[in-house]
Structure 1
Amino acid sequence: MTREDALQVIEGAGSFLDDDGKPQRTGTTWTASAHIITAVIGAGVLSLAWAMAQLGWIISIVSVFIFSIVNLYTSNLLADFYRSPDPVSGKRNRAYVEVVRNNLGGKMHMICGFIQYSYLVGVTIGYTITTSISVVTIRKVNCFQLKGITASCRYSANPYMIVLGVVEIFLSQIPNFHKLSWLSILATTMSFGYASIGAGLSIAKVIQGKGNDTSLLGSSNKTQSSADNMWNMLIALGNLALANGYAVIAVNIEDSLKSSPPENKVMKRANKISVSIMAVFFLICGCSGYAAFGSETPGNILLSSGFKEPFWLITLANVFIMVHLIAAYQVIAQPIYYAVETWTGQRWTSSSFVNREYSMHIGKMEFKISFFKLVWRSIFVAVATVLAMAMPFFNDILGFLGAIGFWPLTIYFPVEMHIKRKKIKKGTMRWFGLKTLSFIFMALSVAIACACIRGISQGLQKYKPFQYKD
C-alpha cells in the first residue's frame, strides 16, 4: 500500500492518525522555519562580531555566504532522506540515526548517534551557562546604574543555573516537537528582538563616530602574537560554520510536518527561508558589531563585556536572550528525549511505568503525563545543570564537540547517502565534486577541533569547579 492509499484509508475511517499510526502531524513551512531559527539564531549570533574581528571584512563576509550556500545544499539533500527508499512515498525515518541506518547500513548509524547525542547534550549544558550569564548581566546592569559603569560588579551564576534548571524541568514535559511550535515562535521573536538591539546599538555607535579600527584581511588586533591570531581565526571560522549548522535536529523537525504536501518539499522551503534569514542576520549583527568595536570586539556584544548603556535596553535584550535560550533548550533536547524513550519503549513493551500515559486536568486544561518521562527528563535536566555549574569553561568543550560533529552530520552523511541513492559513479565529475566538498570541511573541522583543544587546556589550568563569577 502506498502512502497515498494509506492516507485515504485513514481519512475514510475518520482517524486522527498519520500513515505510520502516530498522531497526525500538523507542522508547516513556518513552524519548521521557527524551529530552525530557534535552534540556530541563538545568543551565538551576537558573538559573530568577534569572529569577524578575527577574520577581517573580506574573509568573514565571504565565509558567511559559503557556509550558508553549503548548509542549504546539504540540508536539502538530507530532507530527501526522511522517507526511504522513496523520498515521497517511502517509510518514515523519525530520527537522524534511523536515516543513516536505513540508507548507509552497517554500523554508521552508531557513529552518527554517538556524535549527534554528545553534541546535543553539550549544547544543553552550554545553553544553561549562557542563560545564567544573561541573568547575571541584568544584575550587573542594575549595579552599574546604581554605582556607575566603573564599579566592580561580580556575581555567581550558580543560583541562576539552579533556577533555570527548575524551569527546564517543567518545560521538558512538553511531549514532542509537534507541541513545541508555540515555544519556537516565541523564541524566534525573542531572537529578532535582541539581535536587532545589538545591531542597532552598534550602528548608533558607528554613526556617532565612535567605531574602532577594522581590517580588510585578518585580525586588526596588534597586541596578540601571530600564533594567537591564527588560532583565533580557526575558532572564528568554527563559529561561522557551526552557527549555520542545524542538521543535528533537521530530521526531527521534518518529522513534525504534515503529510501533504510531501515533507521533503515543505522542508526544502523551510530550509531556504531559514538559511536566508540566518545569512541576513549574521551579516547585520556581525558587520555592525565589528564596525563598532573593531579589534576590541568582545565575545558577545550584549553580555557584560559588551555594551553597558542604555541600561534599560541592555536589560531588555538580555531578557530576550534568556527567554530564547530557555525555549531553544527544549528544541535541542527533544531528539535526546525521543531516542531514550523510543529505546525504553521497545525494551520494556509491557511496562506501564514506561509506556502508559495518564490524563490530568488543571481547570479546563487536559493533558497527559507519563511517569517515566517525568522522572527521566527531570534527571537529565538536573545532571546537565550540575555539569554546567561544575564546568564554567564548558563553551570550549562545546566548541570541540561542535567541530567534530559539524562535518559528519552536516556534510559527510548527507553527501554519502546522496551518492549511494543516486548511484553516482566513482571518478565522475559530480562524484569528485561531492568528495572534495566533504574533504574540505573535514579538514576545517579537524583544524577547529585542534584550536578548541588548545582553549580547553588553557581553561583547565585555571579551572575551579562551581566557582564561576562574572
Structure 2
Amino acid sequence: MAHTSMHAHGDVDRETAMDRAGRSSSSEKTREKSGTVWTATAHIVALLVGSSVLAVAWTFAQLGWVAGPAVVVAISVVTYFYSALLADCYRDPDHLGGAVHGEYIDAVRSYLGPKSGTFCGLIQYGVLWAAMVGYTITSSASMSAVQRVNRFHHDWLGAADGGGTSGVTYTVAFGAFQLLLSQLPSLEDIAWLSVVAVATSFGYSSICLGLCTARWASHRDVRGTLAGAAGDSPREKVFNVLLAVGNIAISYIYAPVLFEIQDTVKAAPSESKTMKKASLYGLAMSAVVYLLLGISGYAAFGNDAPSNILTGAAFHEPFWLVDIANICVVVHFLGAYQVIAQPVFSRLEAYVGGRWPESIFVTASYERRLRVPAWTAAPPTSITLSPVKIALRAAVIVATTQVAALMPFFNAVLGFIAALGFWPLAVYLPVSMHIASLKIGRGKARWWVLQGVSMALLVVAVGMGVASVRDMVKRLKEATPFKTMD
C-alpha cells in the first residue's frame, strides 16, 4: 500500500508543490513562533495524563503484575518511535518541494496524495471530536462525584440535605466554559492553559497516588496476582485484557495534533529535534505517572480495583481531598479539551473561508487584546473575534455538549472510535509517509520490518475495536439519557 501511495504522490503537479512551499515560507516569515521543548511537552502531557490515569488500577487488575507494567513501557516506546517518524515529516524533503505542514492532513496529502488525505481527515477529526465528547462526560462525572462524596460525608455526620444537581447541569456548565475558551486563537496562544492543565493533572494524579498508597499501607500486603483477574470465563478474560490494553493505547494517541503542536515551536533548533525531545520527555513523564498509579492502585485493591479511582466507591474520605482531586480533573480537561479542539476549529474555519471567500460574514474581524494571569509569565495575547469564528466554534461546542448529555455512555463509543483511529493515525500513516520520504523500496529489509510491525499492531487494534464494541453494547443496556455514568 505504501508503494502505491508513493506513485499517487508522484502524480501531484510539481508546480503546485513549489507554490505550497512558497506559501509555507511566506507564512513562517509573517508568524514568529515562540514555542519551546517545554511548551510542547506541556501540550503532550496535558493530553497523555488524562482520564485513563483514573482507570489504570483497573487496567493493571486485568493484566496482572507482569503484563501491566510491560504494556505501559511497550506502548510508550512504540508511541515514541512513531511520533519521531511523524516529527520528521513536518518539513518535506527538497525532492518533494520542502513545504512545511502545520496540520496532519496536509502532510498526508503531500506525501501520499489526496485520497489518503481524505481518509486521514475523516478518522482524525472523528477521533478528536469523539475525545471532546468524552472529556465533557468525564468532567461532568467528576463534578457529580464532588456532590456525591460531600453528600456521603454529610450522611455520615447525620446532616444530609437531600438535594442534588443533575449530571446534565454539570455537562452544560462545562460546555459554557468551553464557549469562552474557544475564542482563544491557537495552540501557541494557549500554552499557559496547557501548563495549568499539566499542573492539575499531576495534582489529581498525586492525590490518587497518595490515597492508593495509604490504602495499601492500611492492610500491609500486596494484593493482586501475576496474571490479573480471572474473569467469569476465558472469553471474558480475553475481552478484558483487550480493553485494558486499549485503555493505555488510547490514552497515548496524540498523533492527530502532533503537527499542530510542532507548528508552534521555534525553527532553531529544527522543529523535528525539538518535537522529538518534547515527545521523549512527555512520554517518559506520563509513563512514570501510569506506572506509579497502576502499581499502587493494584497493590491497594488487587483484582477488585474500581474502574475509576475518584468517581466510584473507592474513596469517600478525606472528603475534602477527594473533592480537590475531582476539581483538578475538571480544570485539567478544560485545558486538554482546547488542545484537541483547536485543530477541529481551524479545519472548519479554513473550509468555510475557502468556500465563501467573499462573504462579509466570513471576512469581518475585530481584534481585542487580553491580559493573561501574571503568574504564568506569559505576554499579553490578542483575540481576533469574527462572526464566523464565534458561530462555528459555538456550534461545535453546543453539538458536543448535547451529545454528551444525551448519550452518557459515549465513553464506550469513544473507545471504539479511538481503537479505529489508533492504527491508521499512530502507525500506518506515519510508516507510509516515512517510506515515501526516504524512498524506501518495496521488499527491502527496512520496508519489511516497518510493514511487519505495522501489521502486528493492526491485529492488536482490531482486537481492541472488537472488545470496545462488546463493551459499548453492554453499556447501551444500562445507559440513561441525561444521567452521567461512572
User: TM-score over 0.5 for the alignment?
Assistant: yes
Q: 1:402 to 1:367 in 2, by over 3 A?
A: closer
In structure 2, what residue type is equivalent to 1:229?
A: K
1:425 to 429, 435, 441: 441
Name the residue aligned to 2:474: 458
Deviation sequence 1:268-324 (CA, Å, 0-9, x none): 110111111111111011111111111111111122332221111101111110100
Q: 1:162 to 1:304 in 2, by over 3 A?
A: same
User: Runs of 4+ in structure 1 displaced over 4 angstroms?
Assistant: 86-89, 149-155, 361-366
Name the residue aligned to 1:278: 286
2:402 to 386, 411, 425: 386
Q: Matched residue pairs, number?
A: 452
Name the residue aligned to 2:93: 85
In structure 1, what residue type is equivalent to 2:399?
A: V
1:268 to 268, 276, 285: 276
In structure 1, what residue type is equivalent to 2:70?
A: V
In structure 2, what residue type is equivalent to 1:446?
A: V
1:220 corresponds to 2:229: yes
CA distance in 2, matches of 1:35, 1:89: 29
TM-score, normalization by structure 2: 0.88
Alignment map for 1:277-316 (pairs within 5 Å): 277-316=285-324
1:130 corresponds to 2:138: yes
Superposed displacement of residue 201, structure 1: 1.1
In structure 2, what residue type is equivalent to 1:170?
A: L
Name the residue aligned to 2:38: 30
Q: 1:104 to 1:359 in 2, by over 3 A?
A: same
CA distance in 2, matches of 1:125, 1:365: 28
Conserved? CA contact 1:52–1:286, under 8 Å: yes
Superposed displacement of residue 94, structure 1: 1.4
SS in 2 for 1:368: strand
Alignment map for 1:360-399 (pairs within 5 Å): 360=368, 367-399=383-415
SS in 2 for 1:107: helix
Name the residue aligned to 2:21: none
In structure 1, what residue type is equivalent to 2:182?
A: S
Identity value in percent: 38
Name the residue aligned to 2:102: 94
Structure 1 vs Structure 2 CA RMSD: 2.3
Q: 1:42 to 1:87 in 2, by over 3 A?
A: farther
Q: 1:257 to 1:88 in 2, by over 3 A?
A: farther
CA distance in 1, matches of 2:109, 2:96: 18
CA distance in 2, matches of 1:23, 1:306: 49
Higher deviation after alignment, 141-150 or 183-192: 141-150
CA distance in 2, matches of 1:55, 1:149: 39
Superposed displacement of residue 430, structure 1: 1.5
Name the residue aligned to 1:162: 172
Which consecutive residues of structure 2, in runs of 5 or more, have no partner in the other structure?
Answer: 1-24, 372-379
Superposed displacement of residue 43, structure 1: 2.3
1:341 to 346, 349, 373: 349
Superposed displacement of residue 64, structure 1: 1.0
1:183 corresponds to 2:193: yes
Conserved? CA contact 1:82–1:251, under 8 Å: yes
CA distance in 2, matches of 1:87, 1:193: 47
Higher deviation after alignment, 254-263 or 231-240: 254-263
1:121 corresponds to 2:129: yes
Q: 1:270 to 1:114 in 2, by over 3 A?
A: same
SS in 2 for 1:350: coil
Conserved? CA contact 1:149–1:308, under 8 Å: no
CA distance in 1, matches of 2:95, 2:343: 21
Conserved? CA contact 1:403–1:448, under 8 Å: yes
Which consecutive residues of structure 1, in runs of 5 or more, have no partner in the other structure?
Answer: 1-16
SS in 2 for 1:53: helix
In structure 2, what residue type is equivalent to 1:99?
A: A
In structure 1, what residue type is equivalent to 2:481?
A: P
Superposed displacement of residue 348, structure 1: 2.0
Higher deviation after alignment, 418-427 or 443-452: 418-427
Superposed displacement of residue 467, structure 1: 3.7
SS in 1 for 2:441: coil
Name the residue aligned to 2:327: 319
CA distance in 2, matches of 1:52, 1:293: 11
Conserved? CA contact 1:155–1:469, under 8 Å: no
SS in 2 for 1:51: helix
Name the residue aligned to 2:60: 52
Superposed displacement of residue 266, structure 1: 0.7
Conserved? CA contact 1:83–1:89, under 8 Å: no
Q: 1:106 to 1:442 in 2, by over 3 A?
A: same
Deviation sequence 1:23-59 (CA, Å, 0-9, x none): 2221111110000111111122121111110011111
1:236 corresponds to 2:252: no
Superposed displacement of residue 149, structure 1: 9.5
Superposed displacement of residue 372, structure 1: 0.8
Higher deviation after alignment, 95-104 or 421-430: 421-430
1:444 to 423, 441, 460: 460
Name the residue aligned to 2:260: 252
Q: Which one has the bigger helix percentage?
A: 2
Deviation sequence 1:311-348 (CA, Å, 0-9, x none): 11101111110100111111110110111111222222
